[in-house]
Chains A and B, each alone.
Chain A
């Protein structure tokens, strides 16, 4: 769901860049004392793994398909603020080195995948963890729902962004349903991967699950 250059009008680009910067500063202030060597290496390791995982497209016969995004997973494994920086690192490198996602639309892509996906995923995970009193199965259900709903809401946000355009009328009624329905359906795969990675790390390397 990387929005390329050309899809957004200048005002949307400016507003989403502003949101990215303000949230980035906020996330930094929230984590100011936690930028330890250990946390930075976990950020780097997770960003590189998510970057590679995003290269594996899900080939769905019929055409319309997706790839892993990983924002919910990033938030769950660290916290939503470090999750932002993990996803920002991925999106920044994708944009600058591979032009995957535009430079004028970087703010929008960060808003969708580094802020919305991360926050929604983290919130649902935390909610389920609490409901289940830290029971592992509840955590896994939380990760599944987080990955699923995170990518769905990020997709809807992208639909709103490309649909809000001064040049067209009624565009939101076109873009939002397309994005919502497809991401809701395909997002199940994101949820399953998120829960599977969490299950693996909880059993093999619980110290890597900090969220």
Chain B
């Protein structure tokens, strides 16, 4: 796959991501089978009590959820690429 096509794909997925990840998800009351099972057991989700990140649930503080979702996506991709570059550097140095 040409690298340009990859970025176009990523761009399209990012732009439409709030439609699926926020708008439609809110409309249907998105929850996963895991949530259903956990509710039956009365398991307690401690995510909010022990949270450390300002980007909890793919939000960005002070920015509307739909736009924040896209920015969160960009941040995630950026961090993955940083880790990728570090690995490239280490692999290069090993030679």
Contacts and interface: CB of A to CB of B under 8 A. Distances in A.
A205 interface: yes
A97 B53 contact: yes
A98 B55 contact: yes
Size class of the contact patch on chain A:
35 or more
B34 A36 contact: no
Contacts, number: 176
A63 B31 CA distance: 6
A52 B14 contact: yes
Contacts of A51: 73, 76-77, 80
A4 B32 CA distance: 12
Given A58-B20, A98-B53, A5 B13 contact: no
Interface in B39-95: 40-41, 43-47, 49-53, 55-58, 69, 72-73, 75-77, 79-81, 83-84, 87-88, 91-92, 94
Interface residues of B, number: 56
A131 interface: no
Interface in B4-50: 6, 9-10, 13-14, 16-17, 20-21, 24-25, 27-34, 36-38, 40-41, 43-47, 49-50
A14 to B, nearest CB: 17
Ranked 9 nearest A-B pairs via Cβ: A44-B84, A6-B46, A182-B33, A59-B24, A205-B1, A56-B20, A178-B37, A175-B37, A5-B46
9 contacts: A4-B45, A6-B45, A44-B81, A55-B13, A61-B28, A93-B80, A98-B76, A159-B37, A162-B34
